[in-house]
Structure 1
Amino acid sequence: MTRGGVLAAAALLALGLSGGAAMAQDQVEKRVFEAGSYQTRGGGTIANVRIGYQTMGRLNDAGDNAVLIAHFFSGNSHAFGRLGGATGPVGYWDAIIGPGKPIDTDRFFVVSSDTLVNVNVGDPNTTTTGPATINPDTGRPYGMAFPVVSMRDFVEVQKKLLDSLGVKRLALVAGPSNGGLQAIEWAAAYPEMVERVMPVIAGEIDAWMQGWLDVWEAPIRLDPNWREGDYYAPGREPPLRGLAEAWKIVTLQANDRPWARQFERRIPEGQDPAKRIGDRFEVERALDATGQARARTSDANSFLYMVRANQLALREYPSLEAALSRSQARWLVVPSPTDRVFLREGVQEMVEILRRAGRPVEVVEIGGERGHLNGVLNVAPVGERVRAFLAD
């Protein structure tokens, strides 16, 4: 396995994610899209935008059989296929994307891209532009001088990529979590271009969720090594402790109570929390290990920028109703009943808004013991519903 493949696998395993279906046969190649200068929705300028992407299938002459898959908060574009040769990792949604699978690449041209400010800057198989990128005006990483980017900016850069590939219409936009937010943003931004939308474990970023996202990032800002984002200089230590604590919060909220039962009443050898306040329970030790592993493969400033992009989802519209009423698409909404990130009642509110707007919408719940992560780990059982959704 390549070093990039090892890092990608480590990033998934750190959040308790597998690399996808074990028998994937279709190898994919990561490519780099050079978008050139880009003006953000907030008015900033990024001199040279570069993002990675991968494809499978063939675009038809009309350019209207394309499917866009957007990735989750800690993921990248490796949603399907095997990367890095016959022994490389497989994509997180490989169970439903490929020849003959529910999202059939014998029929559809499937594209998946890395976002701006992707957190996985240490992975050679992730190409992104963000605060760790060299600013051509200074010769140093942008740091906190990088312009704020929003979910809509993710969409606009993806639109440039799709234009370069000859895509005219999207048969489907889909993705889990952060990827689902991008799918929803696509439906509002380009209603005439999007035929179907499938947000998985995703809903509205309301004020409650904005607050949770602030909790996610708080440990980074409290780490003295963060230095207001100025930690890239030689000899300076990155804020790994704060970043690890941030990933601990994400990991715990992204799971559910059944996941934690494996640690129930377990105490690491040599520890006695009943006698010493500094000793640990097994679940704490496991969360520490997960957070530290994930911190070693990611960038703290990029984490902050990714949080802000999520907080800005659909913020160009006066309300969720106003955004969703723009859609002309058919919807398949896929929540997890035990999701602790996008709660069931919030997703249901979004569904009711779509129905009041007259949009065709189906709901299929995704089960499993992993809460929010069911939408990444356990998508295979809803595959036939996805196939039927694409058949009409």
Structure 2
Amino acid sequence: MKLRLTVLALAAALLLPAVFPGQGPRAQEPVQKQVFEAGSYRTRGGGTIANTRVGYQTAGRLNEARDNAILITHFFSGNSHAFGRLGGPQGPVGYWDAIIGPGRAIDTDRYFVISSDTLVNLNVPDPNTVTTGPATLDSATGRPYGLTFPVVSMRDFVEVQKRLLDHLGVRRLALVAGGSMGALQAMEWAAAYPEMVARVMPVIAHDIDPWNLAWLDVWEAPIRMDPNWRQGDYYAQGRQPPLAGLAEALRIVTLQSRDRQWARGLGMRPAEGNDPARNLLDRFAIEKWLDDAATARARTSDANSFLYLVRANQLFFNEYDSPEAAFRRSQARWLVVPTANDRVFPIEGVREMVETLRRVGRPVAVAEVAGPLGHLNGVANMGPLSDRIRAFLAE
């Protein structure tokens, strides 16, 4: 039982809704989900979203100069709940609660902190996620968009966030920070609006390369192979969503986002009541854990949204001739945060990105996040970097 509880405590970020205890000198304040109506939006690819909506949350206050704002951009399976206790004093805490809040590294007594849901958010069945995407009703037909929803890119996420910041009166960002897919959004911000972004903190990511692009295709393949997917047309009453394909996709993501050290907690033992040495259908404990966790997560996710998110990641920096050309546009200071045992964005790719930033003359520093969780260290283990983040904001 003790081992089982330890393993379950490690479930986080890319698979299950992350709940991490807040750290810091003061109790975290409640935050409320708000909704931004962005209106009609023309995508970078030329499509039109008639009624664009995203959810967001804020903490702190915007100063008179309107330049103390910090934007937090979320990871692939995340939403805007990066900090604070959602809905009240007993609500769940945000995934980066260790570094965002009163008196924390990103101090909401000093900064106006904003975090928003992306378009095509994976968590669309969750009432605490507000997003326009393939599961949204198309006002022209009265039916969910499905695959008629326009393709969106990482830059589209940024453009909708820009509308939100304009609505909130933000003129300049003291920092844009995010983990994994959130880091990609932060980098897009630095290139798209260089005069607006003072600092960038990409965590557990580097620019997408062909290897990442191919892995993203591996992630989504099980959904396309599920007969219930029906080319994205599974929303009609009486049809079953492609839960088996989505669960398998999430199982792949989950394993890649963790490290060998995490897997040792489950060991080589069979699942309870199973004997793989005698029965080919019996399971090992780690196989069953991944199956159970991915199946549970699939029930709170949308398969089409998963596919659209994959494509948005594949279209990272697609408007520039090269990552170097994009980085050259930045005017920001950079703090890059990798983890040594990352299997999603390997640290050698981060080192190459840092060299590119230095080659184009960007001020860049590196602070490594440690822990046994692999890629997820950048979600669950950011607390020890508090002093470094605080110093970066003071530079």
TM-score (norm 2): 0.95
1:180-237 Cα shifts (integer Å, max 9, x gaps):
0000000000001000000000111111100000000000000000000000000000
1:325-344 Cα shifts (integer Å, max 9, x gaps):
00000000000110000011
In the TM superposition, 1:123-202 aligns within 5 A as 123-202=126-205
Secondary structure (helix, strand or coil) at the match of 2:264 reads: helix
Of 215, 232, 235, which residue of structure 2 is paired with 1:229? Answer: 232
Instruction: Tell me the amino acid that sits aligned with residue 20 of structure 2.
Output: G
Q: Is the 8 A contact 1:64 1:171 kept in 2?
A: yes
Q: How far is 1:244 from its partner?
A: 0.3
Alignment of 1:306 onto 2:309: yes
Cα distance in structure 1, aligned partners of 2:342 and 2:19: 21
Cα distance in structure 2, aligned partners of 1:18 and 1:145: 31
Instruction: Tell me the amino acid that sits aligned with residue 21 of structure 1.
Output: P
Q: How far is 1:274 from its partner?
A: 1.7
1:345-366 Cα shifts (integer Å, max 9, x gaps):
1011110011011111000000
1:112-169 Cα shifts (integer Å, max 9, x gaps):
0000000001111100000000000100000000000000000000000000000000
Alignment of 1:84 onto 2:102: no
Q: Which residue number corresponds to residue 6 of structure 1? A: none
Q: How far is 1:22 from its partner?
A: 4.4
Q: How far is 1:269 from its partner?
A: 2.9
Instruction: Tell me the amino acid that sits aligned with residue 97 of structure 1.
Output: I
Q: Which residue number corresponds to residue 111 of structure 2? A: 108
Q: Which residue number corresponds to residue 4 of structure 1? A: none
Q: How far is 1:21 from its partner?
A: 2.1
Q: Which residue number corresponds to residue 4 of structure 2? A: none
Cα distance in structure 1, aligned partners of 2:13 and 2:369: 21
Secondary structure (helix, strand or coil) at the match of 1:237 reads: coil
Cα distance in structure 2, aligned partners of 1:89 and 1:270: 34
Of 263, 268, 272, which residue of structure 2 is paired with 1:269? Answer: 272
Cα distance in structure 2, aligned partners of 1:133 and 1:112: 21
Q: Is the 8 A contact 2:30 2:89 kept in 1?
A: yes
Q: Is the 8 A contact 1:38 1:46 kept in 2?
A: yes
Q: Which residue number corresponds to residue 15 of structure 2? A: 15
Q: Which residue number corresponds to residue 318 of structure 2? A: 315
Secondary structure (helix, strand or coil) at the match of 2:265 reads: helix
Q: Is the 8 A contact 2:136 2:144 kept in 1?
A: yes
Q: Which residue number corresponds to residue 380 of structure 2? A: 377
Q: Which residue number corresponds to residue 5 of structure 2? A: none
Of 235, 242, 247, which residue of structure 2 is paired with 1:244? Answer: 247
Secondary structure (helix, strand or coil) at the match of 1:325 reads: helix
Q: Which residue number corresponds to residue 352 of structure 2? A: 349
Q: Which residue number corresponds to residue 63 of structure 2? A: 60
Q: Is the 8 A contact 2:59 2:108 kept in 1?
A: yes
Q: Which residue number corresponds to residue 50 of structure 2? A: 47
Cα distance in structure 1, aligned partners of 2:301 and 2:272: 30
1:17-62 Cα shifts (integer Å, max 9, x gaps):
6412246430001100000000000000000000000000100111
Cα distance in structure 2, aligned partners of 1:12 and 1:316: 33
Q: How far is 1:263 from its partner?
A: 1.5
Bigger Cα displacement from structure 2, 184-193 vs 269-278: 269-278
Q: How far is 1:13 from its partner?
A: 7.4
Of 295, 298, 301, which residue of structure 1 is paired with 2:298? Answer: 295
Alignment of 1:214 onto 2:217: yes
Gapped regions of structure 1 (runs ≥ 5): 1-8
Alignment of 1:337 onto 2:340: yes
Number of residue-to-residue matches in the alignment: 383
Alignment of 1:26 onto 2:29: yes
Taking only aligned residues, the RMSD between alpha carbons, in angstroms, comes to 1.4
Instruction: Tell me the amino acid that sits aligned with residue 251 of structure 1.
Output: T
Gapped regions of structure 2 (runs ≥ 5): 1-8
Secondary structure (helix, strand or coil) at the match of 1:116 reads: coil
Cα distance in structure 1, aligned partners of 2:13 and 2:159: 30
TM-score (norm 1): 0.96
Cα distance in structure 2, aligned partners of 1:115 and 1:202: 18
Q: Is the 8 A contact 1:14 1:291 kept in 2?
A: no
